[in-house]
A and B are shown apart, each in its own frame.
Chain A
Amino acid sequence: MEAASITASRIAPTTASRLWANTREFLDQYGLIILLLAMPVAYGIHDILEDHSLSHLLRNIKEGLSNGAIYAIIALGYTLVYGIIELINFAHGDLFMIGTATSASVLAWLIGPIGLLLACVAALLIAMITCASINAMIERIAYRPLRGAPKLAPLITAVGFSFLLVNVGQLWLSGQHVSVGDPIDNSVAFFTVFDVPFTHGDAIAFGVAIPLLLALTAFITTSRLGKAMRATAQDPEAARLMGINVDTTISVTFIIGGLLAGAAGLMWALYQNDVYFFQGFQAGLIAFTAAVMGGIGNLKGAVLGGLIIGCIQVINDDRWNATWTPAVVFIYLILIMVFRPRGLVGEETREAG
C-alpha cells in the first residue's frame, strides 16, 4: 500500500530552508569562537588604527593569561567535581577565598622569619592542605548523605557551606580588604617583548599553574586513582561493578579540588595582593563560567576557558569599566549555556539513556 498522497507532498528542501540549516550548523560550530574573539579582535583593530601597534592588546592578553591561569586552576576544581558527581560545588569559590586568606596570613607570619621563598612554599602547602581538608569534610558531612536526594538538596547544602565559609573569611579578615603587601615585587619585569613586560607576577602565575597542571594531568592519566576518577565520571555504576570504590574516588576528587583551590589562593595572594572575604563569590562565578565555557567535566576545557575568561575580564576592566565586568562575564555565561552548553571542547561525560 504505497502512500502516494504523502510522497507527492513531501516538502523538498527549499533553498531558503537549506540556507537556514547551513547557517545554523555554522553558528553551532563556530558561533562560540566568534563570540569569544569578537572583543579582542575589535580592540585589536582599534589599537592598530589608533596606536599603530598591538602592544596594548598584547599587554591585555598577557595580563589576561596570568589572571586566567588562576581562574583555570579554580575552574579545574569545579569541573572535576561536576564531572564525577554532576554537582555544582557552590562552595568552591569561597574555598578559594579561604585559600587566599590562609596564604595571606601565612605569608604575613613567615616572610620575616624564614625568608620569601620558603614562606611562599609554606603558604602554598598550608593553603592547599587547609582547603583540601575543608573540601573533603564538606563532601563527607554534606554531599555524601544527600547523594540519592533530588538535585536541589546538595545544591542548597553547597550554598549553605558557601555562606559559612564567607563568614569564616569575614571574621578572619575582619570584613576588610587586606593587603598582602607586594612581597615579590609584582610589577618588576624580568624581560619585555614587543613592549609587553613579563613580570614577577606573571612568573608566579605561570610558575605555579604549569607544574600543577602537569602534575594533575600525570595523576589523572597514569595513576590508579586517576583512572578510577575517569571511570567513575564516565559511568559510576559500571565503575562500581569493576571493583572501584566510588566513595573513596569521590573523596579523592574533592581533595584534589581543594588542593587546587588552595594553590589558586596562594597565586592570587601573590599576584593580586588584595584579599577580601567576598572575593570568593565573584571569582567562583567567573571560574565556573570558565569551566562551562570550556566544557564542564573536561579538564582541558577548564584550562582553556579560564585563560579566555581571564582575557575577557582584563580587556573589559581595562577598556571599558571594571564595575561592568561581572555583567559582561555573565552574559557570556548565559549565551554559552543557551547556544552551546557543551562548551568549546566538551562532550557528554555521562552516558545518557
Chain B
Amino acid sequence: MTSGSTAPLAEPVAADTAPILEAVDITKRFGGLVAVSDVSFTIPRRSIVSIIGPNGAGKTTFFNMLSGLYKPTTGVIAFEGENITRRRPDQITARGVARTFQNIRLFGTMTATENVMVGYHARMKAGLFRSIIRPPMTAREEWKTRQRAREMLKFVGLQERVLDEVSVNLSYGDQRRVEIARALVSEPKLLLLDEPTAGMNPQESDRLKDFMIRLRDEQGLTILLIEHDMKVVLGVSERLTVLDHGEKIAEGEPDDVRSNPRVVEAYLGKQG
C-alpha cells in the first residue's frame, strides 16, 4: 500500500497512536444553508467509530467532505498527517481512503467483477499506450486485477455464479456486497461506510457487523460508519459521535452517549 509522497505535518510521538484522520473546525455552507458547523473530529487508527444523528444532521455532507466530493467552506482535514482538504476524490482514494454510498452507486451495466476491477484503478499502472499495446506486464496486471476482484467478491460473500452477472441484476444484498468489495479492493487504510446496513435484515446486519470487526482485527483497517441501526452501531463502535443540525452534540463511548440527554432529545425518542 502506498503511503503518499508528502511528509507528515507533525512528527507523531508514537506512530501507532497518531489518529489516522483529523478534521478540525469543519464548516460547510451551501449558499445560505449551513449543513455542517464547526465540527472537529478525529479517527484513531485501527478503530471502528460511528457517526449517528437524526436525518438531515449533516452526516453524509461531512462524509462527502472527508472523501473529497465536497470542499469544506472552512476547516482542515488531514489524513495520515497530510492535508487533504482541497484534494480531489480520486487523489484521496489513491492515498488510502475508500467509501461506499448510501444509495448504492454501482456501475449498473458492468458485471460485479468489472465493478470491483474499477475499484483497483488507482493501484494499476496501465495508461493509454500500454492499454493498446498490452505488453506482457500489462496483460499480467489485467489478469491479476481480475483475479483479485473475484477473490474480493468471494471474500465478501458473493456466490461464484453471480460474479459475472451484470450488477443491476443482482439482489440488493449482493449489490451491497459488491460495493464493499469495490471499496476494499483498493487496499484502503480507512474505510468510510455510509449506512451499509440500510435495507438489510437482522441476520445480514449481524454478519456485516462481524465482517467489520474482522476487517479491523485481521487487516488493520480503520472504519468510519454512518448508521441508523442502533444494534449495529452499539455492537461494533468503539466511539460514537452524534451530529444534529450540523453540529457535534456528543461524542464518546456508546453507553455514555446513549444516555446523554441532548442526544435523546435530538432523536425525540424515535430511535432505540
Contacts and interface: CB of A to CB of B under 8 A. Distances in A.
Tell whether A and B belong to one assembly.
Answer: yes
Interface of A: 1, 3-11
A342 to B, nearest CB: 13
B156 interface: no
Contacts of A10: 24, 76
A303 to B, nearest CB: 27
A283 B81 CA distance: 57
Given A10-B24, A10-B76, A5 B9 contact: yes
Interface of A is mostly: helix
B19 A3 contact: yes
B205 interface: no
B19 A9 contact: no
B91 interface: no
B22 interface: yes
B42 A3 contact: yes
Contacts of A9: 9-10, 83
A161 B215 CA distance: 57
B24 A7 contact: yes
B40 A3 contact: yes
A5 B10 contact: yes
A202 to B, nearest CB: 42
Nearest to B251: A1
B22 to A, nearest CB: 4
24 contacts: A1-B19, A1-B42, A3-B19, A3-B22, A3-B40, A3-B42, A3-B78, A5-B9, A5-B10, A5-B12, A5-B22, A5-B78, A5-B81, A6-B9, A6-B10, A6-B22, A6-B76, A6-B78, A8-B10, A9-B9, A9-B10, A9-B83, A10-B76, A11-B83
Report the 9 A-B pairs with minimum CB-CB distance, sorted nearest first.
Answer: A5-B10, A3-B22, A9-B9, A6-B24, A6-B22, A10-B76, A6-B78, A3-B24, A6-B76
A9 B40 CA distance: 15
Contacts of B40: 3
Contacts of A11: 83
A5 B12 CA distance: 9
Interface string B1-21: 000000001101000000100
Nearest to B13: A5
Nearest to B75: A10
A3 to B, nearest CB: 4
Nearest to B77: A6
Interface of B: 9-10, 12, 19, 22, 24, 40, 42, 76, 78, 81, 83
A7 B9 CA distance: 11
A6 B76 CA distance: 8
Contacts of B9: 5-6, 9
Contacts of B19: 1, 3
A1 B9 CA distance: 17
A1 B81 CA distance: 15
Contacts of B10: 4-6, 8-9
B213 to A, nearest CB: 23
A8 B83 CA distance: 12
Nearest to A5: B10
A7 B76 CA distance: 8
The CB with the most chain B CB atoms within 10 A, among A5, A6, A9, A10, is that of A6
A58 B24 CA distance: 58
Given A1-B42, A3-B24, 6 more contacts: A3-B19, A5-B10, A6-B9, A6-B83, A8-B10, A9-B83
A8 B40 CA distance: 15
Nearest to A4: B10
A4 B24 CA distance: 9
Nearest to A2: B40
A10 B40 CA distance: 14
B27 to A, nearest CB: 13
A25 to B, nearest CB: 14
Nearest to A7: B24
A6 B81 CA distance: 8
A8 B78 CA distance: 12
A3 B78 CA distance: 10
A9 B22 CA distance: 12
A326 to B, nearest CB: 34
A6 B41 CA distance: 12
The CB with the most chain B CB atoms within 10 A, among A1, A4, A5, A8, is that of A5
B107 to A, nearest CB: 15
A9 B24 CA distance: 11
A3 B40 CA distance: 9
B60 to A, nearest CB: 11
A152 B9 CA distance: 48
A278 B199 CA distance: 57
A5 B42 CA distance: 12
A1 to B, nearest CB: 6
A148 to B, nearest CB: 15
A11 B75 CA distance: 10
A53 B133 CA distance: 67
A3 B75 CA distance: 12
A3 B19 CA distance: 9
Contacts of A4: 10
A3 B24 CA distance: 7
B43 to A, nearest CB: 11
